[in-house]
């Protein structure tokens, strides 16, 4: 088994594609309208779906806003230079809602940005993550 994609409902597909592709550097992998269902699916990511987990952006025609609720947390993206990445994101007009720095109670360097619908995207400075993570055993995610 492998994780294929995460789906986010978006209120403006063009704005979301600009954010994920132009700001975060993903590629539009495929997009299809479903006129009978009145929705459009767009898949974006950093590599082909056969090898990478991607995001499915779902635009339900005529729905411009969603209640995000309190169960959703964030998606996470690893970056080589979190400070330069955040500077570039701000210059492109996107919102950095937590500046880069160590996470509370840990040493992983993180930042948070927000997409046009208010979804949080965590940026993780590669090489700083995972110092406090317990390893999983090979049987059904049980930790020792």
Note if 67 is an active site residue: no
What predicted TM-score, i.e. pTM, was given to this entire model? 0.84
Domain count, the chain: 2
Last residue of a domain, one of 14, 37, 63: 63
The count of residues in the chain is 144
The answer to whether residue 137 sits within a structural domain is no
Which residues, in sequence order, are bridge partners of residue 136? 143
Q: Angle at CA 43, nearest 5°, toward 39 and 49?
A: 140
Local structure of 129: helix, strand or coil? coil
CATH number for the domain spanning 43: value is: 3.10.180.10
The answer to whether residue 33 sits within a structural domain is yes
The answer to whether residue 117 sits within a structural domain is yes
Instruction: Judge if 77 and 111 occupy the same domain.
Output: yes
The helix (H) or strand (E) run that includes residue 88 is helix 82-91
Whole domain around residue 89: which residue ranges? Answer: 73-132
Last residue of a domain, one of 40, 63, 86: 63
pLDDT tens column, 117-134:
999 999 999 988 764 444
The answer to whether residue 140 sits within a structural domain is no
Considering the candidates 49, 114, 122, 138, report the single residue annotated as catalytic.
122
Predicted confidence at residue 70, as pLDDT, reads 85
The answer to whether residue 54 sits within a structural domain is yes
d(CA 42, CA 59): 8
pLDDT tens column, 27-78:
999 999 999 999 999 999 999 999 999 999 999 999 999 998 888 899 999 9
3-class SS shares of the chain: helix, strand, coil, % to 5: 15, 40, 50
Residue at token pair 């729905």: 63
Tokens representing 71 are: 């169960």
pLDDT tens column, 78-109:
999 999 999 999 999 999 999 999 999 889 99
Instruction: Judge if 51 and 91 occupy the same domain.
Output: no
């Amino acid at each position: 088994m492998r994780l294929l994609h995460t789906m986010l409902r978006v209120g403006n597909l063009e704005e979301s594609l600009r954010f994920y592709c132009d700001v975060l550097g993903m590629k539009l992998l495929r997009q299809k309208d479903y006129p009978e269902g009145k929705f459009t699916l767009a898949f974006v990511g950093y590599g082909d779906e056969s090898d990478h987990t991607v995001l499915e952006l779902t635009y339900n025609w005529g729905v411009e806003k969603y209640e995000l609720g309190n169960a959703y947390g964030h998606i996470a993206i690893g970056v080589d230079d979190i400070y330069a990445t955040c500077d570039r994101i701000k210059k492109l007009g996107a919102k950095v809602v937590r500046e880069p720095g160590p996470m509370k109670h840990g040493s992983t360097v993180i930042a948070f940005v927000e997409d046009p619908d208010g979804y949080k995207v965590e940026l993780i400075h590669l090489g700083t993550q995972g110092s406090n993570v317990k390893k999983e055993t090979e049987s059904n995610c049980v930790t020792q």
